[in-house]
Structure 1
């Protein structure tokens, strides 16, 4: 990948200058970006690209191993030009809050029930996760309600969220560093680690808040039975 992912170093960057590397129609590749491309189940960022007096609506995407910025029209700028990428911060920040909450939730369910995530995604409005917990729906709802109550108690402690990189072999020796039932981290030599000390540690490439207090309060929206090994929880933050 040619694009430096600025949000992996600082998720609070709202905009950045970048040099245009490639253009194909209305799809633009930059040398660096504040836009998250939607990898890892977190919805891709939207925002706009500014060049001179022109502003283009933009949504990030992952295509052919590259982060691609899909514009609302073909741009007037060309490779080598310098543009400014600006992320829709309100949507991004809600996704950050939900993403960090999701890590705490997965840790609580893993520690309490040995549950792994079998699917899920995060938008700026809500998150949904599937867990391989079993039981009748009354039992499953109770499990989720107890887990969310613990998530809220943990979030209220105001724990600093740490982000750092480790060699892949070293990272994969950490118990519970992967909580996805059917997917391993990408096959790269160094993994980005997101740690909530005393609570959770996971290999993860997406944006997060700096402190668990920023999450607010997690609220259950809906619980569904999606079949064996897939009990689905919809939740949001307030």
Structure 2
């Protein structure tokens, strides 16, 4: 990858300076970016690229091992150009809050019910997670409600979220992290770890809040039966 992912070091960077590395039509590759590219089920960031007095609407995306910025309209950007990136901060921050909440919810449900998360999506408006969990819908709904209540109680304690890097072999020794860590491409020797002390630790590449108190109150929107042992929960903050 030719792009440094600023948000992996500091998820709170709202504006940044960068240089254009490559251009293919509406796809612009930068040497660094604070735009999250949509990997891991977190909706990609939007915002603007500014250059030479012009301002272009842009959305990040992942193509192969590259992060590209999809620029709307005719832009005229070329390799070597200096640009300023500006995030749409409010939706990005909501996704950060929901992303950290999602880590906590999955950890609580795994501990309480041995429920594994099988899919999910995080948007600025809501998060959706699918869990492999047994029981009728009344029991599942109750399990979700109790898990969210515990999540809210834990989040209100103001737990500092830790982000650090570990060699792959060392990361794989952490209980509960193996499944996600092993999904990482084998050519990545060092993994980014997101730890919510006492709650969860996972290999994860996306943006998170610094403290669980920033999450606020998590509210369940709806619960759906998606088939045997597959239940879906929608929630927001």
For the superposition of Structure 1 and Structure 2, which TM-score range results when normalised by the shorter chain? over 0.9
- Residue aligned with 1:163, SS: strand
CA distance in structure 1 between the aligned counterparts of 2:15 and 2:190, rounded to whole angstroms:
26
Q: Deviations over 1:176-195 (max 9, x none)?
A: 12566xx7233311100000
Instruction: Tell me what 1:86 maps to.
Output: 86
Instruction: Tell me what 1:15 maps to.
Output: 15
RMSD after superposition: 1.3
Q: Deviations over 1:183-232 (max 9, x none)?
A: 72333111000001111100000000000000000000000011123200
Q: Tell me, yes or no, if the aligned pair for 1:20 and 1:29 is still in contact at 8 Å.
A: yes
CA distance in structure 2 between the aligned counterparts of 1:126 and 1:93, rounded to whole angstroms:
12
CA distance in structure 2 between the aligned counterparts of 1:120 and 1:64, rounded to whole angstroms:
21
Instruction: Tell me what 1:169 maps to.
Output: 169
Q: Tell me, yes or no, if the aligned pair for 2:39 and 2:62 is still in contact at 8 Å.
A: yes
**Aligned pairs for 1:1-238 within 5 A:** 1-178=1-178, 184-187=183-186, 188-237=188-237
TM-score, normalization: structure 1?
0.96
Alignment length, in residue pairs?
236
CA distance in structure 1 between the aligned counterparts of 2:183 and 2:178, rounded to whole angstroms:
7
CA distance in structure 2 between the aligned counterparts of 1:137 and 1:229, rounded to whole angstroms:
10
Q: Tell me, yes or no, if the aligned pair for 2:135 and 2:229 is still in contact at 8 Å.
A: no
Runs of 4+ residues deviating >3 angstroms: none
Q: Residue 52 of structure 1: CA displacement?
A: 1.8
* Unmatched 5+ stretches in structure 2: none
CA distance in structure 1 between the aligned counterparts of 2:106 and 2:178, rounded to whole angstroms:
10
Q: Tell me, yes or no, if the aligned pair for 1:117 and 1:179 is still in contact at 8 Å.
A: no
- Residue aligned with 2:183, SS: coil
- Residue aligned with 1:84, SS: strand
TM-score, normalization: structure 2?
0.97
Q: Tell me, yes or no, if the aligned pair for 2:152 and 2:218 is still in contact at 8 Å.
A: yes
* Unmatched 5+ stretches in structure 1: none
Q: Residue 60 of structure 1: CA displacement?
A: 0.2
- Residue aligned with 1:229, SS: coil
CA distance in structure 1 between the aligned counterparts of 2:184 and 2:159, rounded to whole angstroms:
25
